[in-house]
Structure 1
Amino acid sequence: MSGMGLRERKKRETVRRIADTALGLFAERGFDAVTIAEVAEAADVSVNTVYNHFRVKEDLVLPPDEASAGRLAGIVRAREPGVSAAGAVLAHLRGEIRRRERTVGLTPGFGRILPMMLAAPTLAARLHALGEQMVTELAELLVAETGADQADPVPGLVAAQIGWVHSLVFAEIGKRTVAGEVPDDIAKAAEDLLDAVEGLLGERVLGYATRKES
């Protein structure tokens, strides 16, 4: 942030203020009950400014840069030599959990946001579609990296297993968040779940697409 220009810093501050204001209104009144105009007024910006930064209303809750269909593929693509596809995702999830990152819902106040998200049909549908898209993009990457035949079911099956683990962790965090547990306890339970899942996954999945040393 120290090397960021004033204009970019102000832009980020505006985007954050709009999103935080919107989330507060949505949590209080429900996603469908709040209009973009009301978000703009509460954030002290114009409606056009909101749309300049958020293409659709759902982006205020699930911004594309945080809730991306390329999330799993991006994690796997960035792995180091000697690390498998599943290993990369498991390690990444553990890191996010230990750092209590926003991306996995381990921030104060998320307990108010999640029920609102699940109660809004368009947001729930977007979450479901997002999970499917993540698996599809990961499967395509695994096919490309391993040189597998397009008819080979293995890349898709491995991607589905990784996607299942990813969804399972988020579901566990969500369930405990709604139940009112504190982030530290939720994080401990999520890490324990990852350990249990890793113990159940076979070597074919855990070792698949291990990046070779260059």
Structure 2
Amino acid sequence: MAESGLRERKKQRMYEAVSDVAIGLFLEKGFDSVSVAEVAAAADISKPTLFRYFPAKEDLVLYRFADHETEAARVVAGRPDGRSVADALLEHFLDGLRRDDPVTGLNDHPDVLAFHRLLYGTPSLAARAYAYVERSEAALAEALGGDLDARLAAGQITAVQRVLALENWRRIAEGERAAEVRRDAVAAARRAFAGLAAGSARLADSRTLGVTQ
């Protein structure tokens, strides 16, 4: 068991190290100007080894989202009894805003801004990111019960989270500081989840999506 855990940690470190090397090169030279072979050489691994870890060049960047793919599903599955789905997800999003989690868009660190410019300014990366969003939505739908109502709710929740994050990032990218955006970001999140609750279909577990005002 300990040996298995050690292997997994080594594998995780490899993912992180190669991804960091690749992103550094992409930020310096541009995504399309850096070859996979160049990334492999800079990371001191072979090209076939790199592809075992990252099937597509875009995955070298999007690996940073890997932990977030099932995040909403985990929040829903782990919420206390009696707590609504929307309340749990709203509090999780608000906690992200408090921590300046880059996933919420509310982070003005230069490295985070550079990463976001790389992501949203590269068409192939933006397109590949959509697949991550789809998988996140599918995991959330499964956590909600897996039927049509659950899939509808998961689509609405995912859209709300994405639009909120993009709006925060847009304002910061245009020159505002995170501290200046924070109050509006919190208010927008509360409004969005309240609206989501009011208009949502009934979920598969027979609970409404309701959020506390």
Cα distance in 2 for residues equivalent to 1:130 and 1:93:
18
What corresponds to 1:121 in structure 2? Answer: 123
Aligned residue runs from structure 1 range 1-214, under 5 A? 11-63=11-63, 65-68=66-69, 70-105=70-105, 106=107, 108=109, 109-144=111-146, 150=147, 154-203=149-198, 205=200, 209=205, 210=207
1:138 Cα shift? 2.7
1:172 Cα shift? 1.4
TM-score by length of 2: 0.74
TM-score by length of 1: 0.74
1:194 Cα shift? 0.6
Aligned CA RMSD, in angstroms, stands at: 3.2
**Percent of matched pairs sharing the same residue:** 34
Cα distance in 1 for residues equivalent to 2:34 and 2:61:
13
Gaps of 5+ in 2: 209-213
Cα distance in 2 for residues equivalent to 1:39 and 1:186:
36
What corresponds to 1:147 in structure 2? Answer: none
Cα distance in 1 for residues equivalent to 2:46 and 2:168:
35
User: In 2 relative to 1, CA 11–134 (structure 1 residues): closer, same or farther, beyond 3 Å?
Assistant: closer
Determine which structure has greater relative contact order: mean sequence separation of CA pairs < 8 Å that are 6+ residues apart, divided by chain length.
Answer: 1
Q: Contact 2:86–2:193 at 8 Å: present in 1 too?
A: no
1:66 Cα shift? 2.7
1:166 Cα shift? 1.0
User: In 2 relative to 1, CA 187–59 (structure 1 residues): closer, same or farther, beyond 3 Å?
Assistant: farther
1:203 Cα shift? 4.3
Which deviates the most, 153-162 or 81-90? 153-162
- Provide the aligned length of Structure 1 versus Structure 2: 200
Q: Contact 1:27–1:113 at 8 Å: present in 2 too?
A: yes
Q: Contact 1:66–1:103 at 8 Å: present in 2 too?
A: no
Cα distance in 2 for residues equivalent to 1:86 and 1:27:
37
Gaps of 5+ in 1: 145-149
